Amino acid sequence: MRNAEKDFIEMTERRESMLETGFTLFARDGIEPVSMQQVADACGVGIATLYRYFSTKQDFVIAIGTRKWNDYIGTVIREREKDSVESMTAAEEFAYYLRFYIDLYRNHKDILRFNQNFNNYVLHEDASQAQLRPYIDAISNIGRLFHGIYIKAQADGTLRTDMPEEKMFAATSHIMLAVAVRYAQGLLYSGHSEADMTDEMNLLRDMIVRTFTP
Protein backbone atom coordinates (compact mmCIF):
# COMPACT_ATOMS: atom_id res chain seq x y z
CA MET A 1 0.00 0.00 0.00
CA ARG A 2 1.44 3.34 -1.03
CA ASN A 3 2.08 6.06 1.50
CA ALA A 4 -0.55 8.78 0.91
CA GLU A 5 1.64 11.52 2.36
CA LYS A 6 4.56 10.51 0.14
CA ASP A 7 2.28 10.44 -2.91
CA PHE A 8 1.02 13.93 -2.10
CA ILE A 9 4.56 15.28 -1.74
CA GLU A 10 5.62 13.70 -5.02
CA MET A 11 2.58 15.10 -6.84
CA THR A 12 3.19 18.55 -5.39
CA GLU A 13 6.85 18.48 -6.40
CA ARG A 14 5.96 17.32 -9.91
CA ARG A 15 3.34 20.04 -10.26
CA GLU A 16 5.80 22.70 -9.10
CA SER A 17 8.39 21.40 -11.56
CA MET A 18 5.87 21.62 -14.40
CA LEU A 19 4.96 25.17 -13.45
CA GLU A 20 8.60 26.23 -13.32
CA THR A 21 9.42 24.60 -16.64
CA GLY A 22 6.38 26.17 -18.29
CA PHE A 23 7.33 29.55 -16.86
CA THR A 24 10.84 29.31 -18.28
CA LEU A 25 9.59 28.38 -21.75
CA PHE A 26 6.79 30.94 -21.85
CA ALA A 27 8.96 33.80 -20.56
CA ARG A 28 11.65 33.03 -23.11
CA ASP A 29 9.70 32.00 -26.21
CA GLY A 30 6.22 33.47 -25.70
CA ILE A 31 3.09 31.55 -24.75
CA GLU A 32 1.18 31.07 -27.97
CA PRO A 33 4.14 29.61 -29.93
CA VAL A 34 4.90 26.98 -27.23
CA SER A 35 2.70 23.88 -27.31
CA MET A 36 1.76 21.75 -24.33
CA GLN A 37 3.64 18.90 -26.02
CA GLN A 38 6.79 21.00 -25.95
CA VAL A 39 6.20 21.70 -22.27
CA ALA A 40 5.66 18.00 -21.54
CA ASP A 41 8.86 17.11 -23.42
CA ALA A 42 10.83 19.71 -21.46
CA CYS A 43 9.36 18.33 -18.21
CA GLY A 44 10.28 14.78 -19.20
CA VAL A 45 6.69 13.54 -18.91
CA GLY A 46 4.03 12.38 -21.34
CA ILE A 47 1.43 14.85 -22.57
CA ALA A 48 -1.30 12.87 -20.80
CA THR A 49 0.52 13.35 -17.49
CA LEU A 50 0.71 17.10 -18.01
CA TYR A 51 -3.02 17.23 -18.77
CA ARG A 52 -3.78 15.24 -15.60
CA TYR A 53 -2.41 18.16 -13.63
CA PHE A 54 -3.74 20.97 -15.85
CA SER A 55 -6.83 20.30 -17.94
CA THR A 56 -6.10 23.03 -20.53
CA LYS A 57 -3.22 25.21 -21.62
CA GLN A 58 -5.13 28.23 -20.35
CA ASP A 59 -5.43 26.67 -16.88
CA PHE A 60 -1.70 25.94 -16.96
CA VAL A 61 -0.76 29.49 -17.99
CA ILE A 62 -3.00 31.07 -15.33
CA ALA A 63 -1.60 28.74 -12.66
CA ILE A 64 1.94 29.83 -13.59
CA GLY A 65 1.08 33.52 -13.43
CA THR A 66 -0.75 33.10 -10.11
CA ARG A 67 2.14 31.19 -8.56
CA LYS A 68 4.82 33.62 -9.73
CA TRP A 69 3.04 36.73 -8.51
CA ASN A 70 2.09 35.12 -5.19
CA ASP A 71 5.71 34.10 -4.67
CA TYR A 72 7.08 37.54 -5.54
CA ILE A 73 4.52 39.50 -3.53
CA GLY A 74 5.22 37.17 -0.61
CA THR A 75 8.86 38.22 -0.86
CA VAL A 76 7.82 41.88 -0.93
CA ILE A 77 5.70 41.46 2.20
CA ARG A 78 8.57 39.76 4.06
CA GLU A 79 10.93 42.56 3.05
CA ARG A 80 8.45 45.15 4.28
CA GLU A 81 8.19 43.42 7.64
CA LYS A 82 11.97 43.23 7.95
CA ASP A 83 12.39 46.91 7.10
CA SER A 84 9.66 48.09 9.50
CA VAL A 85 7.67 50.17 7.02
CA GLU A 86 5.15 50.97 9.76
CA SER A 87 7.60 53.54 11.12
CA MET A 88 7.95 55.29 7.73
CA THR A 89 5.96 58.30 6.61
CA ALA A 90 3.57 57.74 3.73
CA ALA A 91 6.00 59.47 1.36
CA GLU A 92 8.89 57.31 2.53
CA GLU A 93 6.81 54.15 2.23
CA PHE A 94 5.65 55.21 -1.24
CA ALA A 95 9.26 55.53 -2.44
CA TYR A 96 10.03 52.19 -0.79
CA TYR A 97 7.02 50.60 -2.49
CA LEU A 98 8.02 51.84 -5.95
CA ARG A 99 11.49 50.41 -5.63
CA PHE A 100 10.07 46.90 -5.97
CA TYR A 101 9.27 47.67 -9.61
CA ILE A 102 12.95 48.49 -10.01
CA ASP A 103 13.81 45.21 -8.30
CA LEU A 104 11.61 43.38 -10.80
CA TYR A 105 13.56 44.97 -13.63
CA ARG A 106 16.96 44.30 -12.09
CA ASN A 107 16.45 40.79 -10.73
CA HIS A 108 13.29 39.31 -12.23
CA LYS A 109 13.19 40.23 -15.91
CA ASP A 110 11.78 36.76 -16.60
CA ILE A 111 8.65 37.61 -14.56
CA LEU A 112 8.20 40.84 -16.50
CA ARG A 113 8.61 39.07 -19.84
CA PHE A 114 6.19 36.35 -18.82
CA ASN A 115 3.72 38.97 -17.61
CA GLN A 116 3.71 40.71 -20.98
CA ASN A 117 3.30 37.39 -22.80
CA PHE A 118 0.55 36.45 -20.33
CA ASN A 119 -1.43 39.63 -20.98
CA ASN A 120 -1.26 39.09 -24.74
CA TYR A 121 -2.25 35.44 -24.40
CA VAL A 122 -5.30 35.85 -22.15
CA LEU A 123 -6.52 38.73 -24.32
CA HIS A 124 -6.20 36.61 -27.45
CA GLU A 125 -7.87 33.64 -25.73
CA ASP A 126 -10.63 35.85 -24.33
CA ALA A 127 -10.20 34.37 -20.85
CA SER A 128 -13.17 35.01 -18.55
CA GLN A 129 -13.03 36.80 -15.21
CA ALA A 130 -13.92 33.52 -13.51
CA GLN A 131 -10.98 31.76 -15.14
CA LEU A 132 -8.65 34.62 -14.25
CA ARG A 133 -9.88 34.94 -10.66
CA PRO A 134 -6.84 33.26 -8.98
CA TYR A 135 -4.48 35.47 -10.98
CA ILE A 136 -6.51 38.62 -10.29
CA ASP A 137 -6.51 37.81 -6.57
CA ALA A 138 -2.71 37.47 -6.63
CA ILE A 139 -2.21 40.75 -8.49
CA SER A 140 -4.71 42.52 -6.20
CA ASN A 141 -2.23 42.18 -3.35
CA ILE A 142 -0.17 44.93 -5.02
CA GLY A 143 -3.17 47.23 -4.83
CA ARG A 144 -3.66 46.36 -1.17
CA LEU A 145 -0.11 47.45 -0.38
CA PHE A 146 -0.75 50.75 -2.18
CA HIS A 147 -4.05 51.17 -0.33
CA GLY A 148 -2.22 51.07 2.99
CA ILE A 149 0.10 53.86 1.83
CA TYR A 150 -2.82 55.99 0.64
CA ILE A 151 -4.62 55.63 3.97
CA LYS A 152 -1.43 56.57 5.81
CA ALA A 153 -1.04 59.62 3.54
CA GLN A 154 -4.54 60.79 4.42
CA ALA A 155 -3.47 60.74 8.06
CA ASP A 156 0.06 62.22 7.91
CA GLY A 157 -0.22 64.50 4.85
CA THR A 158 3.20 63.64 3.45
CA LEU A 159 1.65 62.61 0.11
CA ARG A 160 -1.07 64.30 -1.89
CA THR A 161 -4.41 62.52 -1.75
CA ASP A 162 -6.43 65.02 -3.79
CA MET A 163 -6.39 62.45 -6.61
CA PRO A 164 -8.67 59.41 -6.15
CA GLU A 165 -6.80 56.33 -4.97
CA GLU A 166 -7.58 54.24 -8.05
CA LYS A 167 -6.36 56.99 -10.40
CA MET A 168 -3.19 57.56 -8.37
CA PHE A 169 -2.50 53.82 -8.36
CA ALA A 170 -2.92 53.64 -12.15
CA ALA A 171 -0.80 56.74 -12.70
CA THR A 172 2.09 55.45 -10.62
CA SER A 173 2.22 51.68 -10.28
CA HIS A 174 1.07 50.98 -13.82
CA ILE A 175 3.60 53.35 -15.39
CA MET A 176 6.44 51.87 -13.33
CA LEU A 177 5.42 48.37 -14.38
CA ALA A 178 5.01 49.35 -18.04
CA VAL A 179 8.48 50.93 -18.16
CA ALA A 180 10.02 47.98 -16.32
CA VAL A 181 8.47 45.57 -18.86
CA ARG A 182 9.72 47.65 -21.80
CA TYR A 183 13.25 47.77 -20.42
CA ALA A 184 13.19 44.05 -19.56
CA GLN A 185 12.30 43.29 -23.18
CA GLY A 186 15.23 45.38 -24.40
CA LEU A 187 12.94 47.90 -26.13
CA LEU A 188 15.30 50.85 -25.81
CA TYR A 189 15.69 53.89 -28.01
CA SER A 190 19.45 53.60 -27.66
CA GLY A 191 19.40 50.28 -29.52
CA HIS A 192 21.49 48.64 -26.80
CA SER A 193 19.15 45.89 -25.61
CA GLU A 194 21.49 44.82 -22.80
CA ALA A 195 21.93 48.32 -21.36
CA ASP A 196 21.32 48.68 -17.62
CA MET A 197 18.39 51.04 -17.17
CA THR A 198 18.38 51.06 -13.36
CA ASP A 199 19.37 54.74 -13.16
CA GLU A 200 16.51 55.68 -15.47
CA MET A 201 14.06 53.72 -13.34
CA ASN A 202 15.36 55.36 -10.17
CA LEU A 203 14.90 58.74 -11.85
CA LEU A 204 11.33 57.85 -12.81
CA ARG A 205 10.57 56.76 -9.25
CA ASP A 206 11.97 60.03 -7.84
CA MET A 207 9.94 62.06 -10.32
CA ILE A 208 6.76 60.24 -9.33
CA VAL A 209 7.42 60.74 -5.62
CA ARG A 210 8.12 64.46 -6.14
CA THR A 211 4.91 64.81 -8.16
CA PHE A 212 2.84 63.55 -5.23
CA THR A 213 4.77 65.28 -2.45
CA PRO A 214 2.98 68.44 -1.21
As a whole number of angstroms, the distance between CA 118 and CA 70 comes to: 15
Q: Would you say 70 and 78 are in contact if contact means Cβ atoms under 8 Å apart?
A: no
pLDDT digits (tens, 9 = 90+) for 48-68: 999 999 999 999 999 999 999
Say yes or no to pLDDT of 1 above 50.
no
Say yes or no to pLDDT of 159 above 50.
yes
Say yes or no to pLDDT of 116 above 90.
yes
The arithmetic mean of pLDDT across residues 87-96, rounded, is 96
Question: Residue 7: pLDDT band by 50, 70, 90 thresholds?
Answer: low
Contacts of 75 (CB under 8 A, 6+ apart): none
As a whole number of angstroms, the distance between CA 100 and CA 180 comes to: 10
pLDDT digits (tens, 9 = 90+) for 11-54: 889 999 999 999 999 999 999 999 999 999 999 999 999 999 99
What DSSP designation does 197 have?
-
Q: What is the pLDDT of residue 185?
A: 85
pLDDT digits (tens, 9 = 90+) for 170-211: 999 999 999 999 999 886 655 555 688 999 999 999 999 999
Q: What is the pLDDT of residue 111?
A: 96
Tell whether domain 58-211 is in CATH 1.10.357: yes
Q: Could you tell me the residue ranges of all domains in the chain?
A: 58-211
Q: What is the pLDDT of residue 123?
A: 93
Distance of CA 60 to the CA centre of its chain: 16
3-state SS of 32-70 is: CCCCHHHHHHHHCCCHHHHHHHCCCHHHHHHHHHHHHHH
